[in-house]
């Protein structure tokens, strides 16, 4: 993949010097330097809004209006488009997937560069075979002729990674690539990264996950408020020092202590099943029974395809008649056929994809934060903007939301603040049961800490929480109990004291013994 005659002795693959970027009067990057060497994984760390994504978009040709200099393989360059950056050997996997949902997997992988026959027609057989080979490198075997939209988020993330690999890039930039991946998929990705390093590729890798940094980093550069705080070999930077660089202050504990005092049973489900989208396939969830008490956090664990997310969506009424089973809230048998029914019963769901199903991005912060509470905030069917703003202001203060104005589009907020708005939307209705599906995905360490503290406050007030998280340390630290799913069935249930990473993963792979709650 590295051009002939190039070796580490010639210098870094990428050298960025004095990079400054403004959006109007707002300076988002100031005088940032970054080097990337062959065979290196260079972690780019920092809170949301620190400027990491802007920096890699400059390298990837998305933004060409900036100050400073870039060299690739020792040659001054100024990529003006992603296509031009790709021609220079730079491939970027952005946090926001660039796939076309209605197009097939194979067509997405070769969009704009499809192999052709002598007559200028698309060589579909070659395209399909190459697509399967690229996906096989990531351990993914799927029908490449199916539209991307038919596959879950984790599969789409792997397709995005395979698309970048298809460019045979010298420089690979990954922005939160594991945010939607299961544990085995993460293992395969890390094995691929090691192979790419051995071939002399350089990788710029953005992540908020401390265990990933400790596992794959060769060097770490930290940005804060658009400036470079520091850069050091991974072995010379302790987790505590890294967090101090990122947030600019001491964070006493990564996970605040959670004192559990569960009360009466708040929610019970029995024989809960979610049918598959298409006939002939096994149910996404089959015969699940569990309970959660007031003031308790129940962790729901499982690998890709376990049915955990479908369980929460079905419980919330979002899957309509596909979901069936018995549900009790505070001892009362209830019927939930739609999200409207769930909300009326005091349930709320924060989905795992805030930008698609959690927020309305063009709408204001205030409008999003009060969306679920509109029936209560309206009078005689008419919206009351002033009342909405007042309610949004109360929630934003409670959640520590940082926004220039409650009237700004929520799309302009950082990931951590967007997630707080997604939480605010539901907290305004004061739910009895809060269903959280990956609540800290794509959120920086400071915002994560804030969300952990808020969860402690909510359970102390008697709220019951069911939590899905793909981050094992988070699952083990926050959950009072853990229920593990495999292929839609419960394979294990364990208390916090009983739970270990090995036990959870073993059960998630179907090697546990089913327990009923």
CA R_g for the chain: 24
Residues 41 and 81 in one domain: yes
Average pLDDT score over the chain: 87
Residues 136 and 204 in one domain: no
368 lies in some domain:
no
Q: 276 with 284: CB under 8 angstroms?
A: yes
Confidence check: pLDDT of 516 > 60: no
Q: 409 with 417: CB under 8 angstroms?
A: no
**Which of 221, 250, 279 finishes a domain?**
250
Residues 3 and 45 in one domain: yes
Classify strands 227-233 and 464-468 as parallel, antiparallel or unpaired: unpaired
Residues 174 and 85 in one domain: yes
Confidence check: pLDDT of 201 > 80: yes
Residue 164 — very low, low, confident or very high, per pLDDT cuts 50/70/90? confident
pLDDT number for residue 249: 62
The gap from C-alpha 406 to its chain's centroid, in whole angstroms, comes to 24
Q: Residue 279, exposed/middle/buried by CB under 10 A (0-12, 13-18, 19+)?
A: exposed
3-state secondary structure of 360: coil
Out of 165-179, 238-252, 285-299, 410-424, which region has the weakest mean confidence (pLDDT)? 238-252
Q: 262 with 295: CB under 8 angstroms?
A: yes
352 lies in some domain:
no
Concatenated DSSP letters for 371-407?
GGGHHHH-BTTB--HHHHHHHHHHHHHHHT---S-TT
Kindly list the distances between the CA atom of residue 134 and the CA atoms of 131, 167, 190, 275, 326, in Å, as whole numbers in the listed order. Answer: 5, 11, 15, 32, 44
CATH of the domain at 302: 3.40.50.300
Determine phi and psi for 303, rounding to 5 degrees: -85, 180
Residues 49 and 113 in one domain: no
- Alpha helix ranges (H) inside 199-258: 210-216, 239-247
Considering the entire predicted model, what is its pTM?
0.67
Residues 157 and 136 in one domain: yes
Structure tokens at 340: 């409207």
pLDDT number for residue 162: 86
Q: Please name which of 159, 158, 155, 150 lies closest in space to residue 109, comparing C-alpha atoms.
A: 159
Average pLDDT (443-462) is: 85
**Which of 152, 167, 182 finishes a domain?**
167
413 or 258: which leads in pLDDT: 413
Residue 472 — very low, low, confident or very high, per pLDDT cuts 50/70/90? confident
Average pLDDT (330-348) is: 94
Residue 7 — very low, low, confident or very high, per pLDDT cuts 50/70/90? very low
- Residue-wise pLDDT tens digits, 48-106: 778 898 999 999 999 999 999 999 999 999 999 988 998 899 989 887 777 888 999 99
Distance CA 517, CA 512 (A): 15
Confidence check: pLDDT of 3 > 60: no
Distance CA 379, CA 388 (A): 12
Map tokens 């939160």 to a residue: 176
- Residue-wise pLDDT tens digits, 13-23: 999 999 999 98
Residue 288 — very low, low, confident or very high, per pLDDT cuts 50/70/90? very high
Angle of helix 153-165 versus helix 183-198 axis, rounded to 10: 10
pLDDT number for residue 151: 85
3 lies in some domain:
yes
Confidence check: pLDDT of 260 > 80: no
Residue 10 — very low, low, confident or very high, per pLDDT cuts 50/70/90? low
Confidence check: pLDDT of 467 > 70: yes
144 lies in some domain:
yes
The domain in which residue 51 lies consists of: 1-89+170-250
Distance CA 202, CA 71 (A): 14
What's the domain count of the chain? 3
Give the side-chain half-sphere CA count within 13 A for 53.
Answer: 16
Residues 162 and 175 in one domain: no
Question: Among positive and negative, which fits the CA dihedral 442, 443, 445, 448?
Answer: negative
Out of 36-40, 271-275, 372-376, which region has the weakest mean confidence (pLDDT)? 372-376
Residues 331 and 479 in one domain: yes
Residues 309 and 451 in one domain: yes
pLDDT number for residue 154: 77
pLDDT number for residue 512: 55
Average pLDDT (148-159) is: 84
Residue 448 — very low, low, confident or very high, per pLDDT cuts 50/70/90? confident
Q: Please name which of 254, 260, 214 lies closest in space to residue 233, comparing C-alpha atoms.
A: 214
pLDDT number for residue 376: 79
Residues 143 and 7 in one domain: no
Question: Among positive and negative, which fits the CA dihedral 96, 102, 103, 105?
Answer: positive
**Hey, how many other C-beta atoms are within 10 angstroms of the C-beta on 346?**
19
**Which of 140, 167, 194 finishes a domain?**
167
Confidence check: pLDDT of 2 > 60: no
362 lies in some domain:
no
379 lies in some domain:
no
Confidence check: pLDDT of 1 > 60: no
Residues 342 and 471 in one domain: yes
Residues 50 and 178 in one domain: yes
3-state secondary structure 256-315: CCCCCCCCCEEEEEEEEEECCCCCCCCCCEEEEEEEEECCCEEEEECCCCCCHHHHHHHH
432 secondary structure, DSSP code? S
Distance CA 304, CA 487 (A): 9
386 lies in some domain:
no
3-state secondary structure 334-353: ECCCCHHHHHHCCEEEECCC
Q: Which residues on adjacent β-strands are paired with residue 224?
A: 227
Average pLDDT (315-331) is: 95
80 lies in some domain:
yes
pLDDT number for residue 250: 56
Average pLDDT (155-181) is: 85
354 secondary structure, DSSP code? I
244 or 325: which leads in pLDDT: 325
Average pLDDT (330-357) is: 91
How many helices (H) and strands (E) in the chain? 17, 20
3-state secondary structure of 220: strand
Encode burial over 97-132: b for 16+ CB neighbours within 10 A, e otherwise. bebeeeebbbbbbbeeeeeeeeeeeebbeebbebbb
Out of 166-170, 295-299, 405-409, which region has the weakest mean confidence (pLDDT)? 166-170
Kindly list the distances between the CA atom of residue 463 and the CA atoms of 244, 326, 431, 432, 517, in Å, as whole numbers in the listed order. Answer: 32, 21, 7, 5, 19
């Amino acid at each position: 993949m590295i051009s002939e005659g190039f070796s580490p002795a010639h210098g870094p693959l990428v050298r960025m010097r004095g990079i400054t970027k403004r959006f109007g009067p707002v300076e988002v990057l100031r005088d940032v330097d970054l080097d990337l060497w062959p065979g290196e994984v260079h972690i780019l760390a920092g809170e949301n809004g620190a400027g990491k994504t802007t920096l890699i978009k400059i390298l990837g040709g998305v933004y060409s209006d900036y100050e400073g200099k870039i060299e690739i393989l020792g040659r001054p360059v100024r990529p003006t488009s992603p296509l031009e950056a790709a021609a220079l050997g730079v491939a970027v996997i952005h946090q926001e997937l660039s796939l076309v949902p209605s197009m097939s997997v194979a067509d997405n992988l070769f969009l704009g560069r499809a192999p052709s026959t002598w007559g200028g027609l698309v060589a579909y057989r070659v395209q399909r075979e190459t697509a399967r080979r690229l996906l096989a490198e990531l351990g993914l075997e799927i029908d490449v002729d199916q539209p991307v939209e038919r596959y879950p988020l984790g599969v789409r993330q792997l397709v995005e990674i395979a698309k970048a690999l298809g460019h045979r890039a010298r420089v690979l930039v990954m922005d939160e690539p594991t945010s939607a991946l299961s544990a085995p998929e993460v293992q395969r990705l890390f094995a691929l990264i090691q192979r790419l390093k051995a071939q002399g590729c350089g990788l710029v890798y953005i992540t908020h996950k401390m265990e990933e940094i400790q596992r794959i980093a060769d060097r770490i550069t930290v940005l804060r408020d658009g400036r470079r705080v520091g850069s050091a070999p991974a072995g010379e930077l302790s987790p505590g020092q890294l967090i101090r660089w990122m947030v600019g202050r001491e964070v006493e504990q990564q996970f605040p202590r959670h004192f559990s005092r569960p009360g009466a049973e708040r929610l019970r489900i029995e024989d809960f099943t979610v049918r598959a989208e298409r006939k002939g396939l096994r149910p996404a969830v089959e015969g699940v029974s569990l309970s959660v008490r007031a003031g308790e956090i129940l962790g729901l664990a499982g690998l890709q395809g376990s049915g955990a997310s479908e369980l929460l969506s079905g419980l919330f009424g979002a899957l309509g008649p596909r979901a069936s089973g018995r549900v009790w809230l505070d001892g009362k048998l209830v019927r939930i056929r739609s999200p409207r029914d769930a909300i009326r019963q005091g349930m709320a769901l924060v989905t795992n994809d805030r930008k698609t199903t959690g927020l309305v991005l063009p709408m204001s912060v205030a409008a999003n934060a009060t969306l679920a509470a509109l029936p209560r905030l309206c009078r005689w069917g008419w919206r009351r903007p002033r009342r909405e703003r007042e309610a949004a202001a109360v929630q934003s203060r409670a959640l520590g939301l940082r926004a220039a104005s409650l009237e700004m589009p929520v799309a302009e907020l950082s990931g951590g603040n967007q997630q707080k708005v997604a939480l605010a939307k539901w907290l305004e209705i004061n739910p009895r049961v809060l269903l959280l599906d990956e609540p800290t995905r794509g959120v920086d360490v400071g915002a994560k800490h804030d969300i952990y503290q808020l969860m402690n406050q909510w359970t102390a007030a008697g709220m019951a929480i069911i939590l899905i998280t793909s981050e094992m340390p988070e699952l083990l630290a926050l959950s009072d109990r853990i229920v593990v799913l495999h292929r839609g069935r419960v394979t294990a249930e364990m208390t916090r004291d009983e739970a270990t990473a090995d036990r959870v993963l073993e059960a998630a792979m179907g090697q546990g013994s089913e327990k009923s709650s």
